[in-house]
């Protein structure tokens, strides 16, 4: 007789535990990895010393977006690419932005998106160091929804960026190099990843605690 409430409690606890384990496994299988973003090309003909066309104020870039997920597609919202002049670190100035239209990307696919914008001539002149190199800040902002079979997840915000250094040819790529390295766009430190890890750990501790 006195066993009955305890039995009920035990049953309740194991129910909670099972629920916890199930949600952990569901989370593991539904978990989606964010796309990997990088700058593949970055070129300002106006800063190419051997071309000598200082009136050309166009900036060209190529964005590379990779879907690392084996079985999930990605719906991208419009991708907002913002470029700033960072050669003067005490006075980082906005140059302009380019919007890549929204698109869908299949699993394990890589998308290369080109964009261009016009730089103010005065800004361009100020952007260059005495040794004719320059530093630009590239930031990218978008939101993605993952497609898991016929189902779409909620939006996940993506905010990444990096500094891009161009040489005296106005290009991020060293002259004559066949396979120049892409510049990886990454999240500011202390990002969501850390919070996510702490959240999972806390959840797990609560489940263990409930079982004792």
Ligand X SMILES: *[C@@H]1O[C@H](CO)[C@@H](O)[C@H](O)[C@H]1NC(C)=O
Shortest distance (Å) from residue 98 CB to ligand X: 9
- Of 103, 91, 191, 87, give the one whose Cα is nearest residue 137: 87
DSSP letter string, 130-179: TTS-EEEEEEEEEEEEEEETTEE---EEEEEEEEEEE-TEEESSPTT-SS
Stretch of 2-10, 67-75, 88-96, 101-109 contacting ligand X, by CB under 6 A: 88-96
Interface with ligand X, residue 187, by CB under 6 A? no
Q: Which two tokens stand for residue 118?
A: 């016009």
Are residues 102 and 76 in contact, defined by beta-carbon separation less than 8 angstroms?
A: yes
Binding map of ligand X across residues 142-171, x = CB under 6 A, - = no contact: ---------------------------x-x
Interface with ligand X, residue 51, by CB under 6 A? yes
Q: Which is nearer to ligand X, 1 or 188 (CB)?
A: 188
* Contacts with ligand X, residue ranges (CB under 6 A): 43, 48, 50-51, 80, 82, 88, 90-91, 97, 99, 129, 131, 133, 169, 171
């Amino acid at each position: 007789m006195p066993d009955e409430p305890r039995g009920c409690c035990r049953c309740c606890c194991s129910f909670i535990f099972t629920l916890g384990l199930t949600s952990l496994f569901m989370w593991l299988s539904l978990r989606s990895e964010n796309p990997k973003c990088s700058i593949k090309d970055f070129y300002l003909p106006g800063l190419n010393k051997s071309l000598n066309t200082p009136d050309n104020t166009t900036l060209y870039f190529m964005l590379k977006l990779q879907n690392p997920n084996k079985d999930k597609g990605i719906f991208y919202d419009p991708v907002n690419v913002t470029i700033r002049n960072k050669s003067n670190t005490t006075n980082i100035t906005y140059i302009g932005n380019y919007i890549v239209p929204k698109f869908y990307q299949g699993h394990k696919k890589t998308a290369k998106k080109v964009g261009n914008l016009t730089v103010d001539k005065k800004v361009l002149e100020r952007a260059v160091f005495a040794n004719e190199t320059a530093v630009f800040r590239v930031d990218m902002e978008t939101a993605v929804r993952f497609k898991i079979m016929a189902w779409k997840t909620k939006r996940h915000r993506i905010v990444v960026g990096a500094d891009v250094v161009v040489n005296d040819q106005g290009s991020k790529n060293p002259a004559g190099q066949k396979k120049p390295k892409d510049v990886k766009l990454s999240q500011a430190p202390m990002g969501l990843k850390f919070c996510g890890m702490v959240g999972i750990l806390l959840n797990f501790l609560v489940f263990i605690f409930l079982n004792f």
